[in-house]
Chains A and B, each alone.
Chain A
């Protein structure tokens, strides 16, 4: 396998020369930086402020995955001229089997040199290209990332992957929890780990240990016999009219990805390589393979599909969307190119912190597909006076259910809200408040005067409409409390609301929160 790696791609995609300090942040953490920034002490995972403290002149960029994928497409395209079987792992990283191209160019070394020669003009000095060739993807990637690769392509001996890996530190497995254990056992290099007996590794570390062990020995993560010939599960979407913009394809990509993921899941399979195929109006077919170690989740497949379509749709238009006539996509097909037994490893996407949250997330996704995207929501606290106003519903798709959600904790809203009614809160907050009338014992309507005082003690209430909250009979008020006046947004004439609330307990044992607004009473909530 050969791996072509463009280092610091998130920075390169922004068009910043690598000799200028720049960093890309996500949620205020550095996820990529230019070499010039690293010299100044900017490191991955640093907080944005800390990084700016070390390197005040650093340019701060937001991560833009779509842009990264789009700008990587020309690189992928020149490699595709060398060999049709390229596999993109992510923007900046692509691999391909070397057997064919190496024979054609007369050996791995000259093939690798050819790669560099073709990719460099595309990058136009904006970025760097590194090439590694080794037996497996893992070794090839490490070869591309090795120090020696800065000078030129690194080609390991055939069947020499294990020897090449042996001296590398164990951390290159990029599983901190696991390698930490290994280091404490005195295993500091891949070679030392690879020397262990495979059966012992499985016995002690389970499946994750086994996969890492295979990598350390220079084998592929999944042995060839585990890679089943993919069942015929290709999913297809016809566009009518042809899609010319990626926005129009995004929905199809999501639907296809979900469909594919469900079909695979039903057979206990997970996809580690997916082929994305599009046919244009002119009848031209384009195909690209995307690979992911572990397994591609439905969301990951959808995202890659969107990236790929975005790149294709902008082809030959100088980056503009909606290309020339005949370039619209009429058919999109996703083919699970390589599948492995699913072992729930994709839970790792949620950090493994809370497996339940992974199950819940999957169910939520299914319900969204089955009902509608807004059908499932989760509560968050917010400032407000009335019991219903103090909670807002957020679409479940908009939050990460596995993460801490501070907006659900009491401390989230701590400023005082005058007019709030002390707890306990009502167990039912009516979506459509029920109109009622309240009278005192002489039959005079009860109101609240300008000073926020009640005009007479409530004695009887009667519902003015049918509901399951209160029947239409008159009910005697047994006890009452309030009013709690609330003058909301008094500074905004359009949105100004004056309300007063009272608690009532009735002769049928029920208790309600009644609200007076604009002279009319309603039951806003019930202590059910």
Chain B
């Protein structure tokens, strides 16, 4: 251990009290670089935007909640609950609240902050400025994180952190064979104060076997071998004859043509 590291470690140990904003929740290792303090600060409001961002939200929730944390969703009736479970969210620690009337949205979320650790919401109506401010203060005080699954479009205040995803490529799926397995995803986080610098990483979400995984540093590996899935590839016997392994770009027309002509024949 270097001298400065030793001093830091010592500082941490003797620090008398931590302020509530320094309390963090654990995050999956591959996502840790997104957070200035290495974890999810309690009480923050986080926006998720872009295709694939729900996967990141669920992966964060799955780890941040741990064994005994509770997640509530408000007005996210279309959340894929199987996917949530695959990302580590315990289904027996999950409350689903239907979309409340606009005038009770803030009260609903505020009530939830008394008992749950994370509230995921995608409000259908914009919250009032003062309501949002009060809600944010309540969350800070109680340490509850708000996860805005609509990217914060209906949140009138700046979010503490906005996570933007850009999908690069799905792996495991080809032209009529295989199935969606993993997705390379670029994830960008930018926020306020300590998080003002843009942080960008590339991860697999979902990764192999579910969850989020670090992406291989070089993204040259083409589509994986078609998995020996008993259901998918053999559905079209001709697909088995066609060359496989190319990713789905326009260059694949030759493959498609061969299939078409073959089926005509």
Does chain A bind chain B? yes
- Which residues on A are within 8 Å of B, measured CB to CB? 354, 356, 359-360, 362-364, 366-367, 370-371, 374-381, 387-388, 390-391, 393, 396, 404-405, 408-410, 419, 421-431, 440-442, 452-454, 456-457, 459, 476-485, 503, 505, 508-511, 525, 527-528
7 closest A-B pairs (Cβ-Cβ)? A479-B248, A478-B248, A408-B91, A425-B82, A509-B167, A424-B206, A359-B115
- Which residue of chain B has the shortest Cβ distance to A456 in the bound complex? B260
A367 → B minimal CB distance (Å):
6
- Which residues on B are within 8 Å of A, measured CB to CB? 51-55, 58, 68, 70, 77-86, 90-92, 94-98, 100-101, 104, 107-108, 111-112, 114-116, 166-168, 170, 173-183, 206, 210, 229, 231-232, 235-237, 247-250, 253, 256, 259-260, 263
A528 in contact with B112 (CB, 8 Å): no
A396 to B84, CA, bound (A): 18
A390 in contact with B235 (CB, 8 Å): no
Decide if the interface of chain A is mainly helix, strand, loop or mixed: mixed
A445 → B minimal CB distance (Å):
14
A393 to B250, CA, bound (A): 42
Residues on the B chain within 8 Å of A377, using CB: 95-96, 98
A528 in contact with B52 (CB, 8 Å): yes
A527 to B51, CA, bound (A): 8
Q: How many contacts between A and B, using CB within 8 angstroms?
A: 197
B115 in contact with A484 (CB, 8 Å): no
B176 in contact with A356 (CB, 8 Å): no
Interface pairs (9), CB distance under 8 Å: A366-B111, A367-B111, A429-B78, A457-B260, A478-B247, A478-B249, A480-B248, A505-B248, A509-B166
A426 to B87, CA, bound (A): 11
- Which residue of chain B has the shortest Cβ distance to A375 in the bound complex? B98
A424 to B115, CA, bound (A): 30
Residues on the B chain within 8 Å of A425, using CB: 80, 82-83, 86
- Given the known interface contacts A371-B98, A423-B210, the answer about A453 and B86 at a Cβ–Cβ threshold of 8 Å is no
A504 to B98, CA, bound (A): 30
B51 in contact with A483 (CB, 8 Å): no
A244 to B193, CA, bound (A): 64
Q: Which of B90, B97, B107 contacts A376 (CB 8 A)?
A: B97
- Given the known interface contacts A360-B116, A370-B108, A457-B260, the answer about A376 and B95 at a Cβ–Cβ threshold of 8 Å is yes
- Which residue of chain B has the shortest Cβ distance to A510 in the bound complex? B51
B177 → A minimal CB distance (Å):
6
A433 → B minimal CB distance (Å):
10
- Given the known interface contacts A370-B107, A479-B175, A505-B180, the answer about A484 and B231 at a Cβ–Cβ threshold of 8 Å is yes
- Given the known interface contacts A479-B248, A484-B232, A528-B53, the answer about A387 and B80 at a Cβ–Cβ threshold of 8 Å is yes
- Given the known interface contacts A360-B70, A363-B115, A459-B256, the answer about A426 and B235 at a Cβ–Cβ threshold of 8 Å is no
A525 → B minimal CB distance (Å):
6
Residues on the B chain within 8 Å of A508, using CB: 51
A150 to B107, CA, bound (A): 57
A457 in contact with B176 (CB, 8 Å): yes
B261 → A minimal CB distance (Å):
12
A388 to B180, CA, bound (A): 18
A356 to B95, CA, bound (A): 13
- Given the known interface contacts A364-B95, A396-B95, A457-B259, the answer about A452 and B235 at a Cβ–Cβ threshold of 8 Å is yes
B70 in contact with A378 (CB, 8 Å): no
B97 in contact with A379 (CB, 8 Å): no
A374 to B97, CA, bound (A): 9
